[in-house]
Amino acid sequence: GAVVSQHPSRVICKSGTSVKIECRSLDFQATTMFWYRQFPKQSLMLMATSNEGSKATYEQGVEKDKFLINHASLTLSTLTVTSAHPEDSSFYICSARVPSGSGEQYFGPGTRLTVT
Amino acid sequence: QQQVKQSPQSLIVQKGGISIINCAYENTAFDYFPWYQQFPGKGPALLIAIRPDVSEKKEGRFTISFNKSAKQFSLHIMDSQPGDSATYFCAADQGAQKLVFGQGTRLTINP
């Protein structure tokens, strides 16, 4: 299967600071990437759809000014959590859709964010 | 109508047994049904997927059964092994837009 990486895998930051998470498709070009958030023992919650070269589409209830998404190239999307608060602590996972039109999505390993 | 309902929430199976996880959906426009396996602290990994034009797909010990009329699909894991212990998510997609996930099933295989 296709490979998607995320960096960092784990980050601890202080309340009020910003954190950037990178998502890369390593062996394919992805015009569309997705950002999810997952709470313990729960399913994946889609936050936004990231399209290369255009603005991200956010799901209802997700603050676009707080979770900034940039998809500057066909292999890289970034999620910046701005002015982080302890309630933003979570497991953030990205995925990338293969360009074949099949709908297949491959997920990154996730980033554990802890805000103190 | 966009929901995918998954059951059971948790499942315990003896080693060598068959694990069965079920999902049901309402949106008949869904045209892609993948299953993902997730280990603690890791991202989900695509296991197997099916489209509604076939009723069954098998890859190794993993089989998807698809019932279009009942709007249900299931994952069967044959000869279940302790290494299969993980959380499994079914999902559905319409026109390669975005995945709608089930609630997840925590599978435990007892040795």
A1 pLDDT above the threshold of 70: no
- Measure B37 CA to nearest chain A CA, in Å: 11
pLDDT band at A96 (very low <50, low <70, confident <90, very high): very high
Could B32 and A102 be called an inter-chain contact, meaning their C-beta atoms sit closer than 8 Å? yes
Query: Which domains are delineated in chain B?
Result: 4-110 (2.60.40.10)
pLDDT in tens, A24-74: 999 999 989 999 999 999 999 999 999 888 899 999 999 999 999 999 899
The CB-side HSE value for A74 (13 A sphere, CA atoms) comes to 7
What is residue A52's predicted lDDT score, i.e. its pLDDT?
A: 86
Query: Which DSSP letter does residue B52 get?
Result: T
A67-73 and A76-81 beta bridge pairing: antiparallel
Could B43 and A102 be called an inter-chain contact, meaning their C-beta atoms sit closer than 8 Å? no
What is residue B1's predicted lDDT score, i.e. its pLDDT?
A: 65
Instruction: Give the C-alpha separation, A113 to A102, whole Å.
Output: 32
User: Which of A43, A46, A110 shows the shortest C-beta gap to B42?
Assistant: A110
Nearest CA in chain A to B106: A41
